[in-house]
Amino acid sequence: MSRKVRVGIIGCGAIAEHLHGPDYVCSPDAELVAVCDAVKSKAVALADRLAPDAQVFSDYKEMLKKADVEAVSVCLPNHLHASVSIAVLKAGCNVLVEKPMAASLAEAKKMLDAAEKADRLLLVNQSQRLFPAHVKAKEVMDSGIMGKVLHITAMFGHAGPEYWSPTGKWFFKKKEARFGAMADLGVHKADLLRYLTGKEVAEVGAFSERLEKTRSTVEDNFVSALKFTDGTVGTLAASWTVKGAEANYTVFHCTNGTLQICLFPDRPLVAYLVNPECQITFELPPPPTNTAGGWGLDVGGAFCRAVKGEEKPFCSGYEGMKSLEVILAAEKAALTGRTVKIKH
């Protein structure tokens, strides 16, 4: 029987409740042994629901000293990602940090340095890489059937974090969130585009606005124009004001046709080819088993298997930093009204 990695969670808000916690307790590769939140009642509630035997803490430093953990999910507001992740790495634990991994490139680089010095893994939860439709889309793109990518359209939007994380007031405070929809949702697509195509963004132009969340100090809508290093162009948009139906799609227009990813709920992956002219609706791999009421992406299991050396990290700290770099460039472009180049 495979060894179980002893895991702790720091931050017991909605993302721990819906993703990290359920993934760990449903994975044969993980054992959730400790949970921590500054509001101890949140940690107690998470433990009671998912892991009654887990130790409960209100101070993560105490958890790192007293709990026998070797891997930790950092599920805190964005401005705490870097400092807490570095502390966890220095304590000798592997880290899975929520996206965006940091509030700046300088912070991200310090996190990478800390992981290297500690000889521990640093993963970033760019979880869209693990969506079944995206797993299959990666196979399709790598096969070469679509030809060269010429134009990209991507969007991620929903009604706002208040609808899925009612206690997450920090999302709307610039000092704690650092960004709005741009990094909350946009970084998912920035990462996914890089992952699926293998391309890097060379230049970004962008606009951002606060159109509806009037009490917020961050933007609720963001749109960017991207130019990749090989000349491919495209758009990436994110919004906290999408109502009625979520927007979470990616479209690649290629020399051999068009690949639509999650554009239509009933057909999540469709290729329209021109030679020969045909339409292919791909079957997706089955989603991971989840019996704990979570989203069922096996993020926790993938993290633990990487810790054990059984598979490659699904998104390394370096990869997370490269995707963050795109969002930071977009922010600068929106603030200055000028396109921003990214050096590689």
Q: State percent of the chain over pLDDT 70.
A: 100
How does pLDDT run across 133-156, given as a tens digit for each residue? Answer: 999 999 999 999 999 999 999 999
| DSSP at 162 | G
pTM of the full structure: 0.96
Strands 149-157 and 122-125: unpaired
User: For 271-330, how does the pLDDT look when each residue is reduced to its tens digit (9 = 90+)?
Assistant: 999 999 999 999 998 888 777 778 889 999 999 999 999 999 999 999 999 999 999 999
- What's the half-sphere exposure (Cβ side, CA atoms, 13 Å) at 215? 5
What one-character-per-residue DSSP string does 288-332 give?
PP--SSS----HHHHHHHHHTTSS--SSBHHHHHHHHHHHHHHHH
Mean pLDDT of the 206-233 span = 97
Please choose, from the candidates 73, 68, 77, 21, the residue with its C-alpha nearest in 3D space to the C-alpha of residue 47: 21
Cβ contact 316:23 at 8 Å: no
Count of Cβ atoms closer than 10 Å to residue 111 Cβ: 25
- pLDDT of 40 > 80? The answer is yes
Residue (of 60, 35, 123) closest to 307 by Cα position: 123
Question: Which residues touch 248 (CB under 8 Å, ≥6 apart)?
Answer: 155, 156, 157, 158, 262
Selected from 3.90.1150.10, 3.40.50.720, 3.90.930.60, 3.40.50.300, the CATH number assigned to the domain covering 5-127+296-316 reads: 3.40.50.720
129-286+321-341: CATH architecture = 2-Layer Sandwich (3.30)
Instruction: Please give the structure tokens belonging to residue 286.
Output: 């089955």
Domain limits, the chain: 5-127+296-316, 129-286+321-341
> Across the chain, how many H-helices and E-strands are there?
12, 15
Confidence of residue 167 (pLDDT cuts 50, 70, 90): confident
Other beta carbons less than 10 A from residue 176's beta carbon: 18
CB neighbour class for 286 (10 Å; exposed up to 12, middle 13-18, buried from 19): exposed
Mean pLDDT of the chain: 96
Whether the per-residue pLDDT at 219 is higher than 80: the answer is: yes
Place 1 in a pLDDT band, splitting at 50, 70 and 90.
low
Q: Count of CB atoms within 10 A of residue 251's CB?
A: 17
Query: What order do you get walking across the sheet with 257-264 strand by strand?
Result: 277-281, 267-274, 257-264, 247-254, 149-157, 233-239, 221-228, 201-209, 340-341
Residues 127, 333, 223: CA angle, nearest 5 degrees:
50
First to last CA, the chain: 44
Distance between CA atoms of residues 282 and 279, nearest Å: 10
As a whole number of angstroms, the distance between CA 323 and CA 221 comes to 19
In this structure, the strands spanning 201-209 and 149-157 are: unpaired
pLDDT reported for residue 287: 82
